[in-house]
């Protein structure tokens, strides 16, 4: 009887933990949805697209796996900035360009962009704002000093950044960027994703 009680107690604890995780993730996503609704930069069409098609990307398993792997490397901000300097100064295609355009994260991004045809430039960022995977070469490697990462990562709390429509010189198209958090299966915000929507 004692063993049965212990098993039931452990089972209840696991169930409670799972419920808390689900509730935590759901709470963040609900907050993100409300922020999208309240955005003055987003049109009604953008809000519908963001909530129906883009919000699910926050918990995309492959994005979560890729961001976790990069976060685990423990790169310093100085190391990231040095890569960013090389990236911005480059006139030729770099090995890191090839890596971030062809890794598993990039393949998933390209699959999604093919499926949701309104999307243009997409890139996933880690917990410091460094790129993890992308479908085009961005103008810089580190986004940590920009609102697209700062407001979507939001010190690990998650948030939304809806930019104004403008010409994106890296893809030579007018689009509107919306940035959202990447949330792992424990309900923790671990990175962010920036998504360009063609107008």
Comparison of pLDDT for 125 and 174, the residue scoring more: 125
Instruction: Quote the pTM value.
Output: 0.86
Least confident window among 24-38, 89-103, 169-183: 169-183
- pLDDT the model gives residue 134: 98
Task: Please provide residue 125's backbone torsions phi and psi, each rounded to the nearest 5 degrees.
Answer: -125, 155
- pLDDT the model gives residue 14: 38
Q: What CATH number matches the domain at 2-198, 3.30.590.10, 3.30.450.20, 3.30.200.20, 3.50.50.60?
A: 3.30.450.20
Residue 42, both tokens = 């987003």
β-sheet bridge partners, residue 181: 192
Q: How many helices (H) and strands (E) does the chain have?
A: 7, 6
Q: Which single residue is written with the structure tokens 């990231």? A: 80
Strands (E), 20-162: 119-125, 131-134, 161-162
The arithmetic mean of pLDDT across residues 151-157, rounded, is: 96
Residue pLDDT, tens place only, 10-22? 343 333 333 334 4
Ranges of each domain in the chain: 2-198
Burial of 45 (0-12, 13-18, 19+ CB in 10 A): exposed
């Amino acid at each position: 009887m004692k063993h049965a009680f212990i098993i039931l107690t452990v089972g209840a604890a696991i169930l409670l933990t799972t419920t808390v995780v689900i509730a935590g993730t759901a709470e963040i996503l609900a907050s993100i949805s409300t922020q999208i609704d309240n955005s003055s930069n987003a049109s009604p069409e953008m809000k519908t697209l963001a909530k129906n098609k883009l919000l699910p990307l926050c918990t995309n398993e492959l994005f979560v796996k890729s961001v976790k792997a990069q976060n685990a490397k423990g790169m310093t901000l100085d190391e990231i900035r040095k890569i960013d300097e090389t990236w911005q100064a480059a006139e030729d295609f770099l090995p890191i360009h090839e890596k971030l355009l062809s890794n598993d994260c990039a393949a998933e991004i390209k699959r999604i962009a093919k499926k949701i045809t309104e999307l243009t430039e997409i890139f996933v960022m880690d917990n410091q704002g460094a790129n993890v995977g992308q479908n085009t070469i961005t103008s810089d490697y580190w986004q940590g000093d920009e609102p697209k990462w700062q407001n979507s990562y939001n010190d690990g709390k998650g948030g939304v950044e809806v930019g104004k429509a403008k010409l994106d010189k890296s893809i030579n198209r007018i689009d509107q960027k919306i940035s959202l958090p990447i949330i792992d299966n424990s309900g923790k915000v671990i990175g962010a994703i920036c998504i360009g929507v063609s107008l």
